Amino acid sequence: MGKRIGIVGGEEEAHCVHMKRVLEGRGAEVVVLDTNRFPARQDMTFRDDATLLGQDGLTDLHAVYVRTIFYSLPFFEADPTLGQQPGGETLFADWHVDYTAERERQSFLTSFVRALGLRGVKIVNPIESFDLHFLKLLQIAILRDAGIPVPRTCATNDPATLAAFADEVGKVVYKPVTGGASCQRLTDKDLVADRLERLRNAPAIFQEEVPGVNVRVYVVGDEVVSATIIHSDDLDYRGTETGFEPIELPPAVAEMVVRAKDLCGLAFTGADLRLRPDGEFVLLECNPSAMFLGMVQATGAPIDETLADYLLA
């Protein structure tokens, strides 16, 4: 039997299933740490210097591919029916219990996988790097400070500040500070007083709308595996793709994306860029757990095979 590789994620999740098949095709033994089954249906133990999956000490793992995202703070979507009583009232205590249980689960899993890294297991991607996907403003600041071209950005809860930013920038898009929803264009309807006052409930990220087309770039290690223009009639192309057009990145741009990946502490990323009409590239984000099966199927890019090479190296 070849090297032993761990996959963190659901046993039935498409990327986990696919990478298990690819790695086993290379002669690897694959063990899946099924986060969907934990804690109700998957035994895991953290004891002194041991991390056990059931009774498996995982002492011979060579590398781990982390498909499921963990955050230092639980990114939690509560069941809207939780705590609802027959009379229509909602018991907050039930929400609190559910949230607390999820916090405990994620804290355990995060520590479990990071402890494997302490033992010298290659983790792709390191758990700590996932926080930058949740802390989008920090990622933007890190990239900008390093000279990576990123959109002009303003995150605020102040209506006056937003209005001034929109006047200065012109076309503006917005999204939640932590992500999780489609990017939208800011319109005149958003700039009316009662709409602006909603910022007092929570801030949002506002960015200049970079003209041009969407480009997704996959990087594994120091290798740019693929770069593809994604055509769509919508601002946010996810789920609305109309075509894929592989392109060759200029060497300086390829180097920039690899450097951005390193700045974010990633070994593998799907980076989102905009290619402006003047030929300049602007980096929007480096994703720590990028989906890639659709791109493999659409373009034939060997993202999966290259990721397997990296895990086995």
Cis peptide before 125 (omega within 30 of 0): yes
Which contacts qualify for 231-235: CB closer than 8 Å, 24 or more apart?
Answer: 235/173, 235/182, 235/183, 235/184, 235/185, 235/209
State what percent of residues in the chain have pLDDT above 90: 71
Distance between CA 24 and CA 1 in Å, rounded?
Answer: 10
Question: What are the structural domains, with CATH classification, of the chain?
Answer: 4-124 (no CATH), 153-207 (3.30.1490), 213-300 (3.30.470.20)
Beta-sheet pairing, 213-220 with 223-232 = antiparallel
pLDDT for 76? 52
The per-residue pLDDT for range 83-92, each reduced to its tens digit, is: 566 666 655 5
pLDDT for 271? 98
The per-residue pLDDT for range 40-60, each reduced to its tens digit, is: 999 999 999 899 999 999 999
Q: Which residue has the tokens 């086993």?
A: 24
pLDDT tens for the chain, 313 residues long, are 689 999 999 999 999 999 999 999 999 999 999 998 999 999 999 999 899 999 999 999 999 999 986 665 555 555 556 556 666 665 555 667 777 888 888 889 999 999 999 999 999 999 989 888 889 999 999 999 999 999 999 999 999 999 999 999 999 999 988 877 778 899 999 888 888 888 999 899 999 999 999 999 999 999 999 999 999 877 777 666 778 899 999 999 999 999 999 999 999 999 999 999 999 999 999 999 999 999 999 999 999 999 999 999 9
Q: What is the pTM of this model?
A: 0.90
